[in-house]
Amino acid sequence: MPSDRKKKAAASKAKPKAAAKDEKPAAADGAENEFDDGAEGVQSDETTPMVSANASTANLEALDKATAKLSVSDMGRSVTGVLASHPQSRDVQISSFTLLYYGHELLQDSDLELNYGRRYGLLGPNGCGKSTMLKALAARDVPIPKHIDIYLLDREIEASDKTALEAVMEVDEEKARMEAEAEYLAGLEMTDEVENRLSDLYERLEALDSDLVEVRAASILHGLGFDKHMQRKKTREFSGGWRMRIALARALFIDPTMLLLDEPTNHLDLEACVWLEEHLKKFKRILLMVSHSQDFLNGVCTNIIHMQKKKLMYYSGNYDQYVQTRAELEENQMKKYKWEQEQISNMKEYIARFGHGSAKLARQAQSKEKTLAKMVRGGLTEKVETDKVVRIRFENVGKLPPPVLQFTGVAFGYSPDKVLYSNVDLGVDLDSRVAIVGPNGAGKSTLLKLMVGALEPLDGMVKRHNHLRIGQYHQHLTELLDPELTPLEYMLKEYGRELGEEKMRSVIGRFGITGPTQTLPIKNLSDGLKSRVVFAWLAHRTPHMLLLDEPTNHLDLETIDSLARAINEWDGGLVLVSHDFRLIGQVANEIWEVGAGQVRKWQGDIQSYKAHLKSTHEALISRKDLK
């Protein structure tokens, strides 16, 4: 038997459609604006101005009108834009979209277009304003129609006494908002837009009211690495990284009309990344995400948006298709540019030679001068400007005779009754390129701590060469930077002023921290630029061996590629923990798998490991379906 909501949906479709002349924007009536905008699901700063159900009708109407303009300043952010799509549409189109951050123009008079059913990857170099743009959309700094609920994932779930499962399923406000909107829409003439919105609302409410709602929430948490015991733990008992996973699970459970994800894989292991990729590729509303993982963008995205020259450039397809299309467009643009420049040069030369010659030649010269003026008025093709490439470089350190770092019969656990692994007999030399893989909690980061001596084994021995210098990177190092200092001041403070300011400028400049960025307070830098400061600090220590724990978090794709090149050109050793399949494929020639109480070598490359994770995931789904 169909549910009541499905019956209502079927009945709504049977209603006659209003003629075009009778259609009216929802904002004109004002009733539609009585619904909450989904702010309950927006993970934003408390100081961010939000439009809620208690806002005045007049203010809400102004937001929904097609000609509405808005300028909001918050935390240094200022945004203007004009709603260009129909107020009842499920698509979002904003024209004249301008975005400023502390007076610095990130976007200028651009067009924002997000269509229902599309999954967008937002690209651009570190510091270009990707995260700022997501926050501006979540805060509705531009007039997004109120029926489009938005969820921005950019921070962890609040630490409380609620269990992880309860925190994911806490959607009462969201259900009330959708039920109120559905009741309102059911009383309208059934235009295509209203009918589509109503069907979508009934489908989402059905999912939130189903008898299997707890099963669905538990399934999402399980996919993100939570076993049954962890799902029943209180959120305050989890670290920030795990609470971020809970927030992600809640976003997927709510299934909003517009889902904004800012680097969603940052706190995930490879298994969870594979699960999330498979889940998001089925997302059928509007997804806009920032991600540094080319592999993840390829698996999820239907479209790419590139922030370039203060504009938003749109490409169909995933990341690889974007790269190919962009290369073809730039090649054609360069050909046209060269042809135009050649024509201009020839005409200028002719005018200079014959402009004052015989009457016939002078007339031809005048004709060419008019042609040249017409070309200029019509707009000349711009020269292709390639993206600025950060050239990361590590100083070569020479060789140390092996064994450099050796595990002999090592066993470790944080207590004798909970041993993570035992009988580990593996070694790393300066020609090693090792990637460590395995689920969160298996002990990947713990293995790195054993290597540097931060932890001691329960049994066995970790031997290090007497002259070995280890450089360790982990994602929390950026938190240790003095936010009040500039990158230049920080490096001079850490390494003394013997090198001199100019030399230190060159040192940090190798990591893409150039010009005014060197003298900006670290607190005003993007997370990606802060990570580059840490890499500059680490490289200047000239380690023999790098231990990198999730080094790609917050780095843009170009910087990750530069990091891979720097590692491959360097003569030191590498041990890498990363959820970025592509980086592992670029630099690793050996894979250690941690899990089930062991550390063992994986017989294959990283893509074969990903295929193994996918097949395991599909087998689990198949077994559930059989039950």
Percent of the chain clearing pLDDT 70 (strictly above): 87
Q: How far apart are CA 131 and CA 126, in angstroms?
A: 10
* Region 453-457 average pLDDT: 94
* Region 377-392 average pLDDT: 81
Question: Tens digit of pLDDT for each residue in 37-69?
Answer: 333 333 333 333 332 223 333 333 333 333 333
Look at residue 483 and tell me if it is in a domain: yes
Q: Rounded to an integer, what is the distance from CA 149 to the centroid of its chain?
A: 20
Question: Tens digit of pLDDT for each residue in 415-446?
Answer: 888 899 999 999 999 999 999 999 888 899 99
Full domain range(s) for residue 583: 405-622
Strands (E), 240-335: 258-262, 286-290, 303-308, 311-316
**Which secondary structure element, helix H or strand E, spans residue 205, and what is its range?**
helix 192-209
Q: For residue 36, what pLDDT band results from cuts at 50, 70 and 90?
A: very low
Would you list the DSSP string of 442-492? SSHHHHHHHHHTSS--SEEEEEE-TT--EEEEETTGGGGS-TTS-HHHHHH
Look at residue 26 and tell me if it is in a domain: no
Whether residue 419 sits in one domain with residue 360: no
**Which secondary structure element, helix H or strand E, spans residue 598, and what is its range?**
strand 598-601
Q: Left if phi > 0, otherwise alpha if psi is -120 to 50, otherwise beta: which for 239?
A: beta
Task: Output the CA–CA distances (angstroms, integers) from residue 168 to 219, 247, 257, in the order listed.
Answer: 11, 7, 17
Asked whether residue 23 carries a pLDDT value surpassing 50, the answer given is no
Q: For residue 165, what pLDDT band results from cuts at 50, 70 and 90?
A: very high
Whether residue 494 sits in one domain with residue 354: no
Sign of the alpha-carbon torsion through 109, 110, 113, 114 = negative
Look at residue 115 and tell me if it is in a domain: no
Q: What is the pTM of this model?
A: 0.79
Whether residue 604 sits in one domain with residue 478: yes
Q: How far apart are CA 119 and CA 124, in angstroms?
A: 17
- As given in the structure block, the two tokens for residue 343 are 């024509």
The helix-helix angle for 240-254 and 270-280 (nearest 10°) equals 20
Asked whether residue 147 carries a pLDDT value surpassing 80, the answer given is yes
Q: Identify the pLDDT of residue 15.
A: 40
Question: Tens digit of pLDDT for each residue in 80-107?
Answer: 889 888 888 889 999 999 999 888 899 9
Q: Identify the pLDDT of residue 622.
A: 58
Whether residue 502 sits in one domain with residue 428: yes
Domain end point (choices 333, 360, 378): 378
Asked whether residue 30 carries a pLDDT value surpassing 50, the answer given is no
Phi, psi of 533 (to 5 degrees): -60, -45
Average pLDDT, the chain: 83
475-513 CB burial, b ≥16 within 10 A, e <16: bebbeebeeebbbbbbbbeeeeeeeeeeebbebbbbbbb
Look at residue 371 and tell me if it is in a domain: yes
Residue 349, classified by CB atoms within 10 Å of its CB into exposed (0-12), middle (13-18) or buried (19+), is exposed
Q: Identify the pLDDT of residue 593.
A: 95
Look at residue 518 and tell me if it is in a domain: yes
Whether residue 424 sits in one domain with residue 373: no
Q: How far apart are CA 431 and CA 2, in angstroms?
A: 64
Q: Identify the pLDDT of residue 168.
A: 94
Asked whether residue 70 carries a pLDDT value surpassing 50, the answer given is no
In this structure, the number of other CB atoms found within 10 A of the CB of residue 569 comes to 11
57-82 CB burial, b ≥16 within 10 A, e <16: eeebbbbbeeebebeeebeebbbbbb
**Cis preceding-peptide flag for 403 (omega within 30 of 0):** yes
Whether residue 536 sits in one domain with residue 487: yes
Whether residue 468 sits in one domain with residue 343: no
* Region 280-308 average pLDDT: 95
Look at residue 359 and tell me if it is in a domain: yes
Whether residue 409 sits in one domain with residue 538: yes
* Region 338-363 average pLDDT: 84
Tally of domains in the chain: 2
Q: For residue 5, what pLDDT band results from cuts at 50, 70 and 90?
A: low
Amino acid at 36: D
| Residue with more model confidence, 389 or 216 | 216
Look at residue 615 and tell me if it is in a domain: yes
Whether residue 424 sits in one domain with residue 517: yes
Q: How far apart are CA 545 and CA 403, in angstroms?
A: 13
Would you list the DSSP string of 555-587? --HHHHHHHHHHHHH--SEEEEE-S-HHHHHHH
- Classify strands 303-308 and 119-123 as parallel, antiparallel or unpaired: parallel
Asked whether residue 200 carries a pLDDT value surpassing 60, the answer given is yes
Look at residue 552 and tell me if it is in a domain: yes
Q: How far apart are CA 474 and CA 440, in angstroms?
A: 15
Q: Which of 561, 622, 604 is nearest to 586 (CA)?
A: 561
Q: Write the CATH number for 498.
A: 3.40.50.300
Whether residue 489 sits in one domain with residue 366: no
Question: Tens digit of pLDDT for each residue in 557-613?
Answer: 888 999 999 999 999 999 999 999 999 999 999 999 998 889 999 999 999 999 999
Whether residue 542 sits in one domain with residue 612: yes
Q: Contact, 312 vs 112, CB < 8 A?
A: yes
Whether residue 365 sits in one domain with residue 409: no
Asked whether residue 126 carries a pLDDT value surpassing 90, the answer given is no
Q: Identify the pLDDT of residue 179.
A: 86
